[in-house]
Amino acid sequence: MPMGLRAGLAAMKALGVDRAQNKELLVISETGKDHAAGCFVDGLMTATGCTYGKSNIEKRYFNKMAFYLSKLPLRVHKIFHSTKLRAKQTARVLAEILKPVKGISETDGLSPLDDPNLWAERLKDIPEDVMLVGHLPHLSKLASLLLSGDQEKNIISFKMAGIVCLARDEVNTWSIQWMLVPDIVLGETKIVCNGL
Protein backbone atom coordinates (compact mmCIF):
# COMPACT_ATOMS: atom_id res chain seq x y z
CA MET A 1 0.00 0.00 0.00
CA PRO A 2 2.78 2.54 0.68
CA MET A 3 3.94 2.44 -2.98
CA GLY A 4 0.41 3.07 -4.27
CA LEU A 5 -0.06 5.86 -1.72
CA ARG A 6 3.20 7.51 -2.84
CA ALA A 7 2.33 7.09 -6.52
CA GLY A 8 -1.13 8.57 -6.02
CA LEU A 9 0.21 11.56 -4.08
CA ALA A 10 2.97 12.15 -6.64
CA ALA A 11 0.47 12.00 -9.53
CA MET A 12 -1.87 14.50 -7.84
CA LYS A 13 1.05 16.84 -7.16
CA ALA A 14 2.28 16.58 -10.76
CA LEU A 15 -1.23 17.24 -12.09
CA GLY A 16 -1.89 20.02 -9.58
CA VAL A 17 -5.17 18.48 -8.38
CA ASP A 18 -6.70 17.82 -4.99
CA ARG A 19 -8.08 14.55 -3.60
CA ALA A 20 -11.43 13.63 -5.19
CA GLN A 21 -14.48 14.36 -3.10
CA ASN A 22 -16.85 12.92 -5.68
CA LYS A 23 -15.95 12.08 -9.29
CA GLU A 24 -13.52 14.89 -10.13
CA LEU A 25 -10.69 12.42 -10.87
CA LEU A 26 -10.42 9.13 -12.72
CA VAL A 27 -7.67 6.64 -11.92
CA ILE A 28 -6.80 4.00 -14.51
CA SER A 29 -4.53 1.34 -13.06
CA GLU A 30 -2.52 -1.06 -15.24
CA THR A 31 -1.67 -3.45 -12.41
CA GLY A 32 -2.19 -7.20 -12.22
CA LYS A 33 -4.64 -9.13 -10.07
CA ASP A 34 -2.23 -10.52 -7.48
CA HIS A 35 -2.17 -9.48 -3.81
CA ALA A 36 0.64 -6.92 -4.17
CA ALA A 37 -1.15 -5.22 -7.08
CA GLY A 38 -4.33 -5.06 -4.98
CA CYS A 39 -2.43 -3.37 -2.17
CA PHE A 40 -0.95 -0.89 -4.67
CA VAL A 41 -4.47 0.03 -5.85
CA ASP A 42 -5.58 0.38 -2.20
CA GLY A 43 -2.85 3.01 -1.82
CA LEU A 44 -3.98 4.79 -5.00
CA MET A 45 -7.55 4.91 -3.69
CA THR A 46 -6.44 6.23 -0.28
CA ALA A 47 -4.34 8.99 -1.85
CA THR A 48 -6.71 10.08 -4.62
CA GLY A 49 -10.14 9.48 -3.12
CA CYS A 50 -11.11 7.46 -6.19
CA THR A 51 -12.99 4.26 -5.39
CA TYR A 52 -14.79 1.43 -7.13
CA GLY A 53 -17.95 2.54 -5.31
CA LYS A 54 -17.75 5.96 -7.00
CA SER A 55 -16.86 4.27 -10.31
CA ASN A 56 -13.86 6.56 -10.79
CA ILE A 57 -11.13 3.93 -10.69
CA GLU A 58 -10.59 1.27 -13.35
CA LYS A 59 -8.19 -1.65 -13.78
CA ARG A 60 -7.03 -2.24 -17.33
CA TYR A 61 -4.61 -4.75 -18.75
CA PHE A 62 -3.96 -3.59 -22.29
CA ASN A 63 -0.37 -2.46 -21.84
CA LYS A 64 0.43 -5.96 -20.62
CA MET A 65 -1.05 -7.30 -23.86
CA ALA A 66 1.09 -4.88 -25.87
CA PHE A 67 4.21 -5.93 -23.94
CA TYR A 68 3.41 -9.57 -24.70
CA LEU A 69 2.99 -8.71 -28.40
CA SER A 70 6.42 -7.08 -28.41
CA LYS A 71 7.94 -10.53 -27.93
CA LEU A 72 6.23 -11.95 -31.03
CA PRO A 73 7.63 -11.67 -34.58
CA LEU A 74 4.76 -9.52 -35.91
CA ARG A 75 4.92 -7.23 -38.92
CA VAL A 76 2.20 -4.63 -39.26
CA HIS A 77 2.23 -2.20 -42.18
CA LYS A 78 -0.32 0.23 -40.70
CA ILE A 79 -2.65 0.53 -37.72
CA PHE A 80 -6.12 1.98 -38.27
CA HIS A 81 -8.18 3.10 -35.26
CA SER A 82 -11.63 4.51 -34.63
CA THR A 83 -12.32 8.11 -33.69
CA LYS A 84 -12.87 7.20 -30.03
CA LEU A 85 -10.20 8.24 -27.51
CA ARG A 86 -9.51 4.78 -26.04
CA ALA A 87 -8.94 3.31 -29.52
CA LYS A 88 -6.54 6.15 -30.34
CA GLN A 89 -4.63 5.54 -27.07
CA THR A 90 -4.51 1.80 -27.73
CA ALA A 91 -3.25 2.36 -31.29
CA ARG A 92 -0.45 4.60 -29.99
CA VAL A 93 0.67 1.97 -27.46
CA LEU A 94 0.64 -0.71 -30.17
CA ALA A 95 2.50 1.53 -32.62
CA GLU A 96 5.31 2.10 -30.11
CA ILE A 97 5.83 -1.63 -29.87
CA LEU A 98 5.00 -2.87 -33.38
CA LYS A 99 6.50 0.11 -35.26
CA PRO A 100 4.21 -0.04 -38.32
CA VAL A 101 5.92 1.23 -41.49
CA LYS A 102 3.03 3.56 -42.39
CA GLY A 103 2.22 4.54 -38.77
CA ILE A 104 -1.29 4.92 -37.41
CA SER A 105 -4.38 6.52 -38.91
CA GLU A 106 -7.74 7.53 -37.50
CA THR A 107 -10.56 6.36 -39.73
CA ASP A 108 -14.30 5.97 -39.93
CA GLY A 109 -16.18 2.69 -39.94
CA LEU A 110 -14.70 1.18 -36.74
CA SER A 111 -17.18 2.48 -34.15
CA PRO A 112 -19.29 0.00 -32.17
CA LEU A 113 -22.41 0.11 -34.36
CA ASP A 114 -20.82 0.78 -37.76
CA ASP A 115 -21.60 -1.47 -40.72
CA PRO A 116 -18.84 -4.13 -41.00
CA ASN A 117 -19.35 -4.31 -44.79
CA LEU A 118 -17.44 -1.02 -45.14
CA TRP A 119 -14.19 -2.52 -43.79
CA ALA A 120 -14.79 -5.87 -45.47
CA GLU A 121 -14.73 -3.98 -48.78
CA ARG A 122 -11.76 -1.77 -47.83
CA LEU A 123 -9.67 -4.78 -46.85
CA LYS A 124 -10.03 -6.19 -50.37
CA ASP A 125 -7.89 -3.29 -51.60
CA ILE A 126 -5.25 -3.47 -48.86
CA PRO A 127 -2.63 -6.14 -49.64
CA GLU A 128 -0.43 -5.38 -46.61
CA ASP A 129 -0.79 -6.65 -43.04
CA VAL A 130 -2.82 -4.07 -41.10
CA MET A 131 -4.25 -3.85 -37.61
CA LEU A 132 -7.72 -2.52 -36.84
CA VAL A 133 -8.28 -1.05 -33.38
CA GLY A 134 -12.00 -0.72 -32.82
CA HIS A 135 -14.86 -1.76 -30.62
CA LEU A 136 -17.43 -4.43 -29.95
CA PRO A 137 -19.77 -5.50 -31.39
CA HIS A 138 -18.32 -4.12 -34.67
CA LEU A 139 -15.06 -6.12 -34.65
CA SER A 140 -16.91 -9.33 -33.84
CA LYS A 141 -19.34 -8.75 -36.70
CA LEU A 142 -16.51 -7.85 -39.09
CA ALA A 143 -14.61 -11.04 -38.21
CA SER A 144 -17.76 -13.12 -38.70
CA LEU A 145 -18.43 -11.46 -42.05
CA LEU A 146 -14.88 -12.10 -43.27
CA LEU A 147 -14.77 -15.69 -42.02
CA SER A 148 -18.28 -16.88 -42.92
CA GLY A 149 -19.91 -14.22 -45.08
CA ASP A 150 -22.51 -13.65 -42.34
CA GLN A 151 -21.94 -10.87 -39.82
CA GLU A 152 -24.66 -12.24 -37.52
CA LYS A 153 -22.85 -15.56 -36.90
CA ASN A 154 -20.87 -15.33 -33.69
CA ILE A 155 -17.65 -16.95 -34.93
CA ILE A 156 -15.23 -15.40 -32.41
CA SER A 157 -16.01 -14.67 -28.78
CA PHE A 158 -14.09 -11.39 -28.50
CA LYS A 159 -12.88 -10.21 -25.09
CA MET A 160 -12.07 -6.64 -24.06
CA ALA A 161 -8.42 -5.92 -24.95
CA GLY A 162 -8.32 -9.16 -26.91
CA ILE A 163 -6.43 -9.50 -30.18
CA VAL A 164 -7.38 -11.72 -33.10
CA CYS A 165 -5.16 -12.33 -36.12
CA LEU A 166 -6.92 -13.18 -39.37
CA ALA A 167 -5.11 -14.10 -42.58
CA ARG A 168 -6.28 -13.94 -46.18
CA ASP A 169 -5.11 -16.39 -48.84
CA GLU A 170 -4.60 -15.80 -52.56
CA VAL A 171 -8.30 -16.37 -53.35
CA ASN A 172 -9.44 -13.91 -50.66
CA THR A 173 -10.55 -16.57 -48.15
CA TRP A 174 -10.03 -15.56 -44.52
CA SER A 175 -8.93 -17.82 -41.64
CA ILE A 176 -8.14 -17.41 -37.96
CA GLN A 177 -4.39 -17.56 -37.29
CA TRP A 178 -4.38 -16.92 -33.53
CA MET A 179 -6.15 -15.12 -30.69
CA LEU A 180 -4.90 -13.58 -27.44
CA VAL A 181 -7.04 -12.56 -24.49
CA PRO A 182 -5.81 -10.80 -21.33
CA ASP A 183 -6.57 -13.73 -19.02
CA ILE A 184 -4.26 -16.03 -21.00
CA VAL A 185 -1.46 -13.46 -21.29
CA LEU A 186 -1.68 -12.73 -17.57
CA GLY A 187 -1.78 -16.47 -16.78
CA GLU A 188 -5.04 -16.14 -14.90
CA THR A 189 -7.17 -18.72 -16.61
CA LYS A 190 -7.11 -22.34 -17.64
CA ILE A 191 -7.74 -22.97 -21.29
CA VAL A 192 -10.94 -24.97 -21.61
CA CYS A 193 -12.52 -25.99 -24.90
CA ASN A 194 -16.22 -26.47 -24.26
CA GLY A 195 -18.28 -28.63 -26.57
CA LEU A 196 -15.43 -30.63 -28.07
Cα pseudo-dihedral 124, 169, 71, 92, rounded to 10: 0
Residue ending a domain, among 59, 82, 101, is 59
Alpha-carbon radius of gyration of the chain: 19
Which pLDDT value is given to residue 32?
62
Q: What pTM, to 2 d.p., does this model score?
A: 0.70
Q: What sign does the CA torsion over 189, 152, 113, 173 have?
A: positive
One domain, residues 48 and 70: no
One domain, residues 67 and 54: no
SS3 content of the chain, % helix, strand, coil (to 5): 35, 15, 45
| CATH number of 6's domain | 3.30.1330.20
Q: Residue 155 domain-assigned?
A: yes
For residue 101, give Cα distances in angstroms to 6, 37, 72, 76, 170: 39, 36, 17, 7, 23
Inter-residue contact 156 to 176 (CB < 8 Å): yes
- Would you put residue 109 in left (φ > 0), alpha (ψ -120 to 50) or beta? left
Instruction: Print the domain residue range for 8.
Output: 2-59
One domain, residues 48 and 67: no
Which pLDDT value is given to residue 23?
85
Inter-residue contact 170 to 164 (CB < 8 Å): no
Q: What is the rounded distance in angstroms from the CA atom of residue 102 to the CA atom of residue 104?
A: 7
One domain, residues 79 and 165: yes
Which pLDDT value is given to residue 2?
80
Q: What are the pLDDT tens digits along the chain (196 aa)?
A: 688 899 999 999 999 999 999 888 888 887 766 556 778 889 999 999 999 889 888 876 666 777 788 888 899 999 999 999 889 988 998 998 899 999 999 999 999 999 999 999 999 999 999 999 999 999 999 999 999 999 999 999 888 888 999 999 999 999 999 998 877 776 655 555 555 5
One domain, residues 73 and 42: no
Which pLDDT value is given to residue 195?
54
Residue ending a domain, among 59, 80, 102, is 59
One domain, residues 17 and 94: no
Neighbours of 51 (CB within 10 A): 15
One domain, residues 102 and 162: yes
Q: Residue 136 domain-assigned?
A: yes
